Amino acid sequence: MSVRDWQPEPGLGLTGPPLRLHPMIVGYEPIRESISVLGGDPALFLLEPVTVAAVVYENGWLLVDAGFNVDVVRDPAERIEYFNWESYTALLPPGDPLVEQVAALGLAWETLRGCVISHVHADHTGGLRLLGPEVPVLMQRAEYEFAAGIPTLEEKHVVVPGDYLRDDLSIVLLDGDTQLAPGVTALDTRGHTPGHQSVMVELPERTVVLACDAADLWRNIGDQLPCGTVMRPEDEPFALTAVQRLYELAQRPGVEVWPGHDPEWAPWREKTVS
Ligand SMILES: [Zn+2]
């Protein structure tokens, strides 16, 4: 596996501005309200969509998050190894939801210039299996450094290390807020995980901030309530800072902040946003 630092030049080689964004739902998961929202009801379950987005440029595209690893979810032994959590399961539509939606959008994997991973939880890294070493995988350094050590920890985490610790993957490390391409910026929203990042996309008609799991639900943003779980207890204060940051962004004219897993957030069901 190659791991290197981000270099603004040559960057990803995308020439802007971004033309459009394609929201995609690639699976579902039942989540306790108390996991999504601090103080939520542990007996109330939400059926939350697993979301990814494609940002399209004139000369290529970017993928933001990658959903479940459908091969792991569908393999009985691997499913027990990685998805055996009480009251949790990964729900997949038939087929390969990411591959099929990308094909339906007319996007070619050969023109994918980068994949931004918000954080390493198993519902975000699965599609990395589709990438070769030519596609940079963009993660925060703090996330990668913690995630690389997870297999040696005693405590179990909801990750599939094989998704992101693969020999033929090219990891590129970011340090905090980073402009990745014209109109696309990674935002430091650590807390839920040590190096969680959100992604701001400045489209022709609006700016969309993909909160990812810094805010599962709109309520996290609107009421400035942090997510209910953090990977490390010391990151708890940052989970609050992250939703405060997202709330502040949502107050700006022309800026929409999209929660990562909100079943009620209608824009996730749109095909194209510009
Ligand atoms: Zn998630």
Q: Does a structural domain hold residue 154?
A: yes
Distance CA 45, CA 31 (A): 5
Q: Cα(2) to centroid of ligand 1, in Å? A: 25
Of residues 98, 135, 137, the one with CA closest to residue 113 = 135
Q: Cα(50) to centroid of ligand 1, in Å? A: 7
Q: Cα(9) to centroid of ligand 1, in Å? A: 31
Please say if the pLDDT value at position 15 is more than 90: yes
Contact criterion met (CB below 8 Å) for 115 and 131: yes
Q: Cα(156) to centroid of ligand 1, in Å? A: 16
Q: Cα(245) to centroid of ligand 1, in Å? A: 19
Distances (CA, A) of 144 to 11, 49, 95, 121: 19, 25, 30, 12
Q: Cα(77) to centroid of ligand 1, in Å? A: 22
Domain that holds residue 130: 2-269
The CATH number given to whatever domain includes residue 92 is 3.60.15.10
Contact criterion met (CB below 8 Å) for 122 and 158: yes
- Kindly state the average pLDDT of the residues 29-40: 97
Instruction: Please write the tens of the pLDDT for every residue from 106-145.
Output: 999 999 999 999 999 999 999 999 999 999 999 999 999 9
- Kindly state the average pLDDT of the residues 168-180: 98
Please say if the pLDDT value at position 1 is more than 80: no
Q: Does a structural domain hold residue 171?
A: yes
Contact criterion met (CB below 8 Å) for 13 and 72: no
Instruction: Please write the tens of the pLDDT for every residue from 209-251.
Output: 999 999 999 999 999 999 999 999 999 999 999 999 999 999 9
Domain count along the chain: 1
Quote the pTM value. 0.97
- On the CB side of 187, CA atoms within 13 Å amount to 22
Q: Cα(123) to centroid of ligand 1, in Å? A: 5
Q: Does a structural domain hold residue 274?
A: no
The confidence score (pLDDT) of residue 177 equals 98
Q: Does a structural domain hold residue 200?
A: yes
Please say if the pLDDT value at position 16 is more than 90: no
Please say if the pLDDT value at position 190 is more than 80: yes
Amino acid at 9: E
Q: Does a structural domain hold residue 114?
A: yes
Q: Does a structural domain hold residue 234?
A: yes
Please say if the pLDDT value at position 70 is more than 90: yes
Contact criterion met (CB below 8 Å) for 14 and 113: yes
